[in-house]
Amino acid sequence: MTSARCLSTFDKHREIFEQLGIDKTNNKGVFDGEWKGSGSIMPSINPVNNEVMAEVVTGSTDDLNTALDRVAEAQKIWREMPVPKRGQVLLAMRDALVKNLYPLGKLVALEMGKILPEGVGEVQEYVDILEYALGLSRTLSGALIPSERPGHVMLETWNPLGTVGVISAFNFPVAVYGWNSALALVTGNGVLWKPAPTTPLTSIAVTRLLERTLRDHQLPPALCSLVTGGTEVGAGLAQDKRVNLLSFTGSTNVGRKVGQVVQGRFGKSILELGGNNAIIVMEDCDLDLAARAILFAAVGTAGQRCTTTRRLIVQESIYDTLIERLVKAYAQVKVGDPLDEGVLCGPLHTKDAVGVYEQALDKVRQQGGEILIGGQVLKDGPLSQGNFVAPTLTKVTPDMDIVKNEAFVPILHTMTFKTLDEAIAINNNVAQGLSSSIFTNNPSTIFKWIGPAGSDCGIINVNIPTNGAEIGGAFGGEKETGGGRESGSDSWKQYCRRGTCTINYSGALPLAQGINFG
């Protein structure tokens, strides 16, 4: 790998890269209080043209070992800081991100491939969770529990675990780390980040901002450490007992292995895995509202969100009408460079993803499905050098294998149903359980959908799409989605060591359950 491979993309956007501290070569991909890297050189590739934008010297398992020690040392200082003072540091981190909102958003678009408004929106999500954590810094609380013994009081304590490891995915190279980092920090932990191998520049840029903030507050910058690299670094995080909690976002297959390794050493894990999300459309719904939501949910981020809609379950009486509208809408979707104005669908992140797209369509045909629109890899003209595909609608039946396995590409499988019970059964009849939505104006349908006989997913929406979760609620899913919860609600408790404390101030020793030893 040589600097000669770093072609026009870097030079074209040099101002953004330099503002964020990114060079063409020799970007150090390890930070544990100082920038270093003893691993191999990793390219950052622009999915628009598959050019190398810049190069990163990655971390090794030795770097990981050192970083874990330094995070632990820094955390001992951080955990003693009063929680409201931690909140002030998080506020400063928030301000640093706001000042760099557009440059970071543009870097996300360049390196990941999502359109610029989504890139900026992702950085905003990190800003939002830092504001949420600032609020928590004044409101974190336990419980006071009535004791059955006279002269006794029971209460709960929530103390930091120590070190939180974060393995983030390529599709949200900022927000997923932000969710975990903000909550881990406000609860008194140190953080070590292992980003996706294909988005190293974004992680370096974010960590540089955090470094400056920590130094400004006379805090050890190793508190927010970074080790870029491949599977050996991720495996090291999963295996190491110094990692008290590991948050992993990725595929179900890898997440299953990660969970087993972490549980094998009695560590804690937060798993955010596959989705295979569905939207149900009832005949009594606002069809215009549903059509707009479906387009965004299926095509946004080129189908590379964990909450992307993969299955569209439509009541028979309105199927033809809705599909006609969607086909017209799909025909108007502009595919192209995510930085270009008017583009709604950027490239897939890698060439391998294009292969997944082609294989999924082959399976649709083999299993008797029909392609309604799309279905092409865009190999001609100005898009020929990138990873561009046409957003696709298919018509299938719920029993086809292709429907039960998620492909991380912009393919939406459509199918029909007769009754609400049938629709709910179709929604639930997959191994994953992340996000689900229903479009209806019937109150009884709504309350059945969100009740015990309704959706079995962790995210259950009504008259909004499957994607676009707010940070105020807990984010995560059931079944092979992993069961983890991040972001809002009481997700902060996962980053804590919970203690039940009983205090005897009576001077006597009454025992629980009325036991008397004489």
Query: In this structure, how many other beta carbons lie within 10 angstroms of the beta carbon of residue 117?
Result: 14
What whole-number distance in Å separates Cα of residue 237 and Cα of residue 109? 28
The catalytic residue positions are 272, 306
**Residue indicated by tokens 């299953």:** 256
Q: Which helix (H) or strand (E) holds 271?
A: strand 268-272
Q: Are 468 and 295 in contact (CB under 8 A)?
A: no
What whole-number distance in Å separates Cα of residue 341 and Cα of residue 335? 11
Question: Three-class SS string for 145-165?
Answer: ECCCCCCEEEEEEEEECCEEE
Q: Are 54 and 44 in contact (CB under 8 A)?
A: yes
514: DSSP letter:
G
Task: Supply φ then ψ for residue 45, to 5 degrees.
Answer: -110, 135
What whole-number distance in Å separates Cα of residue 368 and Cα of residue 349? 29
Q: Are 235 and 246 in contact (CB under 8 A)?
A: no
457: DSSP letter:
S
Task: Supply φ then ψ for residue 323, to 5 degrees.
Answer: -65, -35
Task: Supply φ then ψ for residue 278, to 5 degrees.
Answer: -130, 150
